[in-house]
Structure 1
Amino acid sequence: MKPTLVIAGLPVRISHDLQTLLEQAISSVLEDFPDEISDGTTPAALTLNYRDPGYSATTGGYHPVEIRLECRDDGWHLRYVTDFAYVGQGWSTELAKELDFDFSMSEYTHSLVGEMSLAEVNEWFDVWQQSFCCYAQMDVFTLTVTPD
């Protein structure tokens, strides 16, 4: 059975491309690891980590992205999307959250502007998901899925 990504009630529009990408990831995990997801008595959860193996502070590349999905009775819910980037210079360079859309807490931040208004969330999320889906279609990411 095809998993259902529940997008009703989110403050952003989820594109067909992103919905398809996430549902494919869920389907793949359910097929490959059916016993690790849930026994049906507790909600299942998946953390999807998309990484460009060549991304570094010195050479750049495609930002790492982490997406959290939780399964409830009516389907899979998007809990958060976090886009990471290197910040700092030299020995103090570190990977930090650049964009964070926490739908479970209704908190949305950008490293340069701080908390975002709902209008800003829609704009930033739309730009982010267009870019992310394009990069995913270019096959630049390695996907690691962690079932919880």
Structure 2
Amino acid sequence: MKPTLVITGLPVRISHDLQTLLEQAISSALEDFPDEIPDGTTPATLTLNYRDPDYSATTGGYHPVEIRLERWDDGWHLRYVTDFAYVGQGWCTELAKELDFDFSVGEYTHSLMGEMSLAEVNEWFDVWQQSFCCYAQMDVFTLTVTPD
């Protein structure tokens, strides 16, 4: 049975490509973790980690992305999307949040701009999801799914 990704009520438009990627990840997780993810409408959560194994502070690459999904009575809901990037130089380089779309609390931030307005959220999310879906289709990411 195809999982239902609930995309109504979000302040952004979810593209067909992103919806398909997320539904595929949910379907795989339901098959891979049948004991950890109860059937039916029981609450459940999934954390999707998309990583470019070659991404580093010195050579660059495709930013790591973490996506959190929660299942409620009516289907799977997108709770947050976080895009990470290396910041700093030398010994103090660290992986930090660059873009954070936290739909669960309505907070949206960019590391350089701070909090975003709803208009900015729509623009940034649209650009982010187009790039992310393109990279995912190029198979640059390794996906790790963790049921919580």
Which TM-score applies when normalising by structure 2? Answer: 0.98
The verdict on how the C-alpha distance between 1:2 and 1:42 changes in structure 2, with shifts beyond 3 A counting, is: closer
Moved more, 118-127 or 25-34: 25-34
Q: Deviations over 1:34-72 (max 9, x none)?
A: 111126584100000000000000000000000000000
The verdict on how the C-alpha distance between 1:48 and 1:73 changes in structure 2, with shifts beyond 3 A counting, is: same
**Residue number in structure 1 paired with 2:45:** 45
Q: Give, in whole Å, the separation in 1 of the partners of 2:9 and 2:128.
A: 19
Q: Give, in whole Å, the separation in 1 of the partners of 2:101 and 2:48.
A: 15
Instruction: Could you list the structure 1 runs, at least 4 aligned residues long, displaced by more than 2 angstroms after superposition.
Output: 38-42
Using the aligned pairs only, state the percent identity.
Answer: 93
Pairwise mapping of residues 56-71 of structure 1 onto structure 2 (< 5 A)? 56-71=56-71
Whether the aligned pair in 1 keeps the contact of 2:69 and 2:79 (CA below 8 Å) is yes
| Number of residues of Structure 1 aligned to a counterpart in Structure 2 | 148
Moved more, 136-145 or 30-39: 30-39
Q: Give, in whole Å, the separation in 1 of the partners of 2:39 and 2:145.
A: 18
Q: Give, in whole Å, the separation in 1 of the partners of 2:39 and 2:129.
A: 32
Q: Any unmatched runs of 5+ in structure 2?
A: none
**Residue number in structure 2 paired with 1:73:** 73
Q: Any unmatched runs of 5+ in structure 1?
A: none
SS at structure 2 position matched to 1:39: coil
Which TM-score applies when normalising by structure 1? Answer: 0.98
Whether the aligned pair in 1 keeps the contact of 2:86 and 2:93 (CA below 8 Å) is yes
